[in-house]
């Protein structure tokens, strides 16, 4: 329960252009929060010449392993055409390179460069600050609860009746 002075302002005190059927719909609010967070991340990453999707690609190929363009697109749920453009941009900046897959001549592995590893460290610092700003309306307990709930929603859907 949120009490005055203890958490975010009363959402009813700020008129919204959305009708109740939208502003009271959990899934719409999740989508909207995600869009607002993504926009803030992109704005804060802009001085590095990166966007959130590019940082996601760098993070995956650095922290997990080099991946094919298709694997990256599938994991990040980005269409293939957009993925090609994102990787092209990372290559142009000198942050990633494409190399032929040793077992599949049709596929390319995306590998980080040393410059890509360095800029990823800077980008993560920016994203840590973005998270702090975005979640500022929530206290520490609420932030922990939100993280736990979002992780729960990321689990594969079970059969629903």
Instruction: Give yes or no for a contact between 72 and 53, defined as CB atoms under 8 angstroms apart.
Output: no
Please state, rounded to an integer, the average pLDDT across all residues of the chain.
88
Domains contained in the chain, CATH given: 18-133 (1.10.10.10)
Q: What is the DSSP letter of 95?
A: S
The residues with which 155 forms a beta bridge, in sequence order, are none
Give the rounded distance of the alpha carbon of 126 from its chain centre: 13
Residue 83 clears pLDDT 50, i.e. is over it: yes
pLDDT digits (tens, 9 = 90+) for 89-145: 999 999 999 998 888 888 889 999 999 999 999 999 999 999 999 999 999 999 999
CA distance 136 to 138: 5
The residues with which 97 forms a beta bridge, in sequence order, are 111
Confidence band for 159, pLDDT divided at 50, 70 and 90: low
Quick one: how many helices (H) and strands (E) in the chain? 7, 3
């Amino acid at each position: 329960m949120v009490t005055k002075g203890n958490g975010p302002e009363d959402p009813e005190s700020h008129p919204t252009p959305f009708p109740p059927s939208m502003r009271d719909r959990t899934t719409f609010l999740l989508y909207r929060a995600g869009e607002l967070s993504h926009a803030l991340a992109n704005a804060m990453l802009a001085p590095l010449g990166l966007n959130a999707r590019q940082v996601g690609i760098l993070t995956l190929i650095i922290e997990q392993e080099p991946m094919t363009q298709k694997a990256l697109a599938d994991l990040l749920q980005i269409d293939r055409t957009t993925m090609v453009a994102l990787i092209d941009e990372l290559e142009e900046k000198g942050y990633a390179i494409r190399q032929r897959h040793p077992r599949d001549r049709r596929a390319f592995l995306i590998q980080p460069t040393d410059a890509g590893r360095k800029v990823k460290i800077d980008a993560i610092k920016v994203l840590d600050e973005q998270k702090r700003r975005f979640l500022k309306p929530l206290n520490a307990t609420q932030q922990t609860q939100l993280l736990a709930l979002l992780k729960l929603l990321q689990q594969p859907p079970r059969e629903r009746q």
